[in-house]
Chains A and B, each alone.
Chain A
Amino acid sequence: MSVMTATLPPAAAVRSVADIRRDFPILAREVHGRPLTYLDNTASSQKPIQVIEAMNRYYREMHANVHRGVHFLSETATAAYENARLRVARFINAPHPKQIIFTRNTTESLNLVAYSWGRAHLKPGDEVLITEMEHHSNIVPWQLVCEMTGATLRYVPITATGELDFEALPRLLTERTKVFAFTAMSNVLGTINPVAELVAQAHAVGAIAVVDGAQSVPHLATDVQALDVDFLAFSSHKMLGPTGIGVLYGRRSLLEAMPPFLGGGDMIREVKMSGSRWNELPYKFEAGTPAIAEAIGLAAAIEYLEGLGMDWVGAHERELTTYAWNRLHEVEGLRILGPEPARRGGLLAFVLGDIHPHDVAAILDQDGIAVRAGHHCAQPIHDHFGLVATTRASFYIYNTPEEIDRLVLGLYKAKALFDL
């Protein structure tokens, strides 16, 4: 074995985090006279200059409305928009770019499935199974669609360590279950769920599997064919891309059989006063002028992540999460929700004694440290643990151990202020 090639790292592993940070203009700014420590990545990530420039260049040089235009700019914009779809398809190993539907965000993607597939297929007696660790965006659409169709909504409970209760699963996932919708990674507990295994169990009872990938796709390599998911929803803005664009991947046979979600321009083949016929995939689900610049920004974000390699992204975050887990446990009175680092993604939600999370976050903010405080759009999890809110620190490619040290110092400051 040649020494030269034995452990050749992926191209990006040779880039230092300091070097990566230089790509993110916002990380150079100060907040309240302190260097910004951005630990709110679960809510939204920052953007590298490559994404900002791609969108800027689009508006400076390429903008026109997409599809049907016969002039140069419209063709250029259409090519760039469709190229973005192709990039997304490759990133998650979708069989065909037609199966990539651009939406506004994960929430809209999940609503699309619930309304379009759900209303067409669910009836009284049917069950929709979700989990207690879902974000509101994977709860409320199902509540609404169950109300409309008469189907029953059930929840897989979570254990004390914040993992799905696999012992309860067989009695909940039955031949009555038509949809099993679950998150690949909890945005509060950090728990990484065994997606392929859960999908297989759903298929075994004839249910479709809908996966909320908002937290997993930005951080873990995703292969929709290997996972065998029926639907996967995720957002651009949590993976270095712009806000305003999200993705729904769907199994082709399911998408083709589904009625449209929104009606309007672009989604039709023919409109007569007596009725309309729908366009082919993916346009059937993309009514109206899409977020063109945002799609191009998302493509640039994917290119950036691929340059680093998703394996490197995952490894970097595991390292940071383990470090943060250990450092936070040094703080007396601090309790972290969810499983240990080996079974979680790069986020830690915690409570610090009886200090209200909004106070913790406000004190950290004064030192330029951005964390999130609240129920993180996941009230059922907080109810489960008897909490109103938690403080959450979350990491991405540009975070460093020094930033975690700053967080810990800030927590000691909060404790001192509150005599804890």
Chain B
Amino acid sequence: MDDLYRENIIDHYRHPRNKGHLDHPDIRYHDVNPFCGDEITIELKLDGDRIVEAAFDGKGCAISQASASMLTEEVIGKTLDEVKAMSKDDILEMLGIPIGPVRMKCALLALKVLKAGVWGLEEWPE
């Protein structure tokens, strides 16, 4: 267990980074994971196509919220194209914990929200 709930996960969950909202974000996207009710909103501020500020808000399990907190730290300074190229493996590496199939949706919700926002989607395509 101590694997899944490693100190950095609990730390990001208990003391989330970049939690809240930005004034006049350039990009904003929100989605939920209906399976467990996890909710994440991500907001980005751009300078050209580079992310200069990122914030998230949400509620849910430690995995989903820690993942969002870490991801906001990760993307500041990245270009939109770099975000578009991010994969599931990048998130798993970032979290550094073994994620089973059941919790995968929790771990990846933040990335799904981020990418949908960056691609300019109105709604996640089914």
Are the C-beta atoms of B37 and A375 separated by less than 8 Å? yes
Are the C-beta atoms of B37 and A389 separated by less than 8 Å? yes
Interface residue? B61 (CB, 8 A): yes
User: A373, A388, A417: which contacts B10 (Cβ < 8 A)?
Assistant: A417
Known: A388-B37, A389-B36, A417-B10. A358 touches B61 (CB 8 A): yes
Interface residues contributed by chain A, number (CB under 8 Å): 18
Are the C-beta atoms of A362 and B10 separated by less than 8 Å? no
Interface residue? A402 (CB, 8 A): no
Known: A417-B10, A419-B14. A374 touches B61 (CB 8 A): no
Determine chain A's interface SS by DSSP, over half rule: mixed
**Closest Cβ neighbor of A355 among chain B residues:** B62
Interface residues contributed by chain B, number (CB under 8 Å): 16
Q: Hey, which chain A residues are within 8 Å of B59, CB to CB?
A: 388
Are the C-beta atoms of B4 and A362 separated by less than 8 Å? yes
**How many residue pairs between the two chains, A and B, have CB atoms under 8 Å in the bound complex?**
44
Interface residue? B106 (CB, 8 A): yes
User: Could you mark each residue 359-386 of chain A with 1 if its beta carbon is under 8 Å from any beta carbon of chain B, else 0?
Assistant: 1001101110000011100000000000
| Interface hits, B70-126 → A, CB 8 Å | 103, 106
23 contacts between A and B (CB under 8 A): A355-B62, A356-B36, A356-B60, A358-B61, A358-B106, A359-B5, A359-B62, A362-B1, A362-B4, A362-B5, A362-B103, A363-B1, A363-B4, A365-B1, A366-B1, A374-B35, A375-B37, A389-B36, A389-B37, A418-B14, A418-B62, A419-B10, A419-B14
CB within 8 Å of A: which residues of B? 1, 4-5, 10, 13-14, 35-37, 59-63, 103, 106
CB within 8 Å of B: which residues of A? 355-356, 358-359, 362-363, 365-367, 373-375, 388-389, 413, 417-419
Taking A362-B1, A362-B5, A388-B37 as known contacts, 6 extra A-B pairs with beta carbons closer than 8 A to each other, sorted by chain A number, are: A363-B1, A363-B5, A365-B1, A373-B36, A388-B36, A418-B13
